[in-house]
Amino acid sequence: MFIPSMLLKQLYTHGSLQKTEDGLCFMLKNRLKDAHLEEILQISLDGKHIANEKITLKVGPDTLLSAEEVNASGNVPFPLREVITVFLDVKAKSGPEKLKLGIEFKAAPFGKLKFTVEDNISPIAEKPAGIPRDPHDDYRPEIIEQRQQYFASATGAPVDHIGKYSIDPGTLRGNIEHFIGVAQVPIGVAGPLKINGEHAQGEFVVPLATTEGTLVASYNRGMKLLNMSGGVKATVVDDAMQRAPVFIFSDARGARDFVKWVNENIDQIRDEAEATSSVAKLTYIDHFLSNKFAFLRFNYLTGDAAGQNMVGRATFAACGWILDNYEGIENFYLESNFATDKKASQINIMRTRGKRVTAEATIKREHLLSVMRVDPKQIDYHGRVAGVGSFLSGVNNTGLHSPNGITAMFIATGQDVANVSESSAGIMYSELTEDGDLYVSLTIPSLIVATYGGGTGIGTQKECLELMDCYGKNKVYKFAEIVGAVALAGEISLASAISSSDWVSSHEQYGRNR
């Protein structure tokens, strides 16, 4: 399996080369995929070969294996994100001068891997005075307790509620570092909400995690109203996750010619990207030229995962192949800030980031009058007035508060809450029908959700997804339709409250905690 040299070098933990009592050590971290170490072929320092009998590996928190034992076994587990510490029984002086460290080994499923890195030797590390951690198993009870004690002693406050949890810390590798406990957020349920989607069909009870009084009640009221008029039609209309590298050239012509070459070699670039994942599919690459810079926006399908890390790894591999095969690139950055990760942006509204979902419904006039005490004309007129306010403020959402329900669902179901930045965008539209009813439609152009991976498999988060039958593979479109429908329920509820002047009184009744 071909792995670009740039990606291979990421196996080495830069800055980890340091003196020990008996020689030197450095660390390797698997940043590729689950693997097995089969054979140590060669390790060299500044061109000098180090014999295998002078090499020892620490695999896991307690297991030490000589290079000979590794080679005899031929099957030492090296899972994704696992750290192996390599000890070298050699003498060398610490100092600022960088040395060349050559590493060559065999690992399944990759085959032979060989790379060279440069690093300087640090002096013998003293036991750090900061946060306690264990690079080999940072989730065992002893190290967690040490961190809790450290936190308590540093702040003078006890770790009481934080340290009480039902989840297994050992399952949190890849979700949290320096774990000491959990933050408990109250969860309420709203619904059921009838959804007529392509993937979400039926009635759904929805968990909402929040500390904002009136939120659950408001969404529940909107769901009741929508149900009376037949529910919500929800549709996922687009799907894309991006990573946006930038390539720098000596002049604008170099950038222009490079983009032409990229388009001509898209098939090979796609192969390199998709080789890093069984899920990621590179659909197309946008290009944007400015000055002497070529910005590429790689667009992927990521299955049931949100996919930011997945597409980062895939794009890194593709760019490694590009750098190895195209001359004239003066500099390169994997992310140019053009993917706008964790930020609202106009390009996401126009081009989609995550799932683009539309929820729509036609609400009967009599139902608005009986449940919300408001006429459709009042809501429609208020929407047009609020559109002027949206334009003047430059906001990314012409609705009222769709991020409210989205955030509450994100917290409850283990989504990356910072993705509310992109998911906050919303395009709200309404019109009066010939019968005097109200048609409402909300498009969320950059809804970033997952039903598999990330935080979705943790304790309460998994349970909340399971409440909606949305945990696991082949469920992400269903979940996206539910989120869109819930957001629409919140929009019509708040729009009715504002239009009928019921907004303040509702907060006074449900939202006061003093």
pTM, two decimals, is: 0.84
> Chain-centre distance of CA 14, in angstroms?
24
- For residue 502, what are the CA distances in angstroms to 148, 494, 496? 46, 9, 8
DSSP string for 438-500: EEEEEEEEEE---SSSTTTTSHHHHHHHHHTT--STT-HHHHHHHHHHHHHHHHHHHHHHHHT
Return the pLDDT at 1.
58
Structure confidence at residue 6 (pLDDT): 73
Residues annotated catalytic, as ranges: 212, 416, 507
Structure tokens at 445: 């152009």
**In 308-429, where does DSSP find H-type helix?**
308-325, 346-351, 365-367, 376-393, 402-413, 420-423
Nearest-5° Cα angle at 426, 423 to 432: 155
User: Which pLDDT does position 9 carry in this prediction?
Assistant: 87
Nearest Cα residue to 74 out of 97, 118, 120, 41: 41
36 CB-near residues (< 8 Å, 6+ apart):
75, 76, 77, 78, 107, 108
In sequence order, the β-bridge partners of residue 236 are: 357
Task: Supply the pLDDT for residue 502.
Answer: 58
Residue 333's beta-bridge partner residues? 246
| Helix (H), strand (E) at residue 153 | helix 141-155
Specify the amino acid at residue 469.
D
pLDDT for res 504: 42
Distance of CA 427 to the CA centre of its chain: 24
Query: What is the chain's pLDDT, residue by residue, as a tens digit (514 residues)?
Result: 567 677 788 899 998 999 998 899 999 999 878 899 999 999 999 999 999 999 999 998 778 999 999 999 999 999 888 899 999 999 888 888 999 999 999 999 989 999 999 999 998 866 556 899 888 889 999 999 999 999 998 888 888 899 999 999 999 988 999 999 999 999 999 999 999 999 999 999 999 999 999 999 999 999 999 999 999 999 999 999 999 999 999 999 999 999 999 999 999 999 999 998 899 999 999 999 999 999 999 999 999 999 999 999 899 989 989 998 999 999 999 999 999 999 999 999 999 999 999 999 999 999 999 999 999 999 999 999 999 999 999 999 999 999 999 999 999 999 999 999 999 999 999 999 999 999 999 999 999 999 999 999 999 999 999 999 999 999 999 999 999 999 999 999 999 999 876 544 454 455 555 5
Cβ proximity of 245 and 450 under 8 Å: no
Q: Please check whether residue 461 is in contact with residue 472, taking contact to mean a CB–CB distance below 8 angstroms.
A: no
Q: Where are the domains of the chain?
A: 5-123, 128-160, 189-239+346-511, 245-333
Burial of 403 (0-12, 13-18, 19+ CB in 10 A): buried
- Tell me the C-alpha to C-alpha distance, in Å, between residue 300 and each of 223, 309, 350: 33, 12, 16
CA angle, 33 then 36 then 40, to 5°: 120
Query: What pLDDT is attached to residue 507?
Result: 47
What pLDDT score was predicted for residue 140? 92
Q: How many whole angstroms separate alpha carbon 488 and alpha carbon 476?
A: 18
Q: Which amino acid is at 220?
A: N
Name the region of 454 (left: φ>0; alpha: ψ -120 to 50; beta: rest): left
Element (DSSP H or E) covering residue 225: helix 215-228
3-state secondary structure of 360: strand
Phi, psi angles (nearest 5°) of residue 149? -65, -40
**5-123 under CATH 1.10.3470, yes or no:** no
Tell me the CATH architecture of domain 189-239+346-511: Alpha-Beta Complex (3.90)
Fold of 245-333: Alpha-Beta Plaits (3.30.70)
Check residue 134 and give its pLDDT.
87
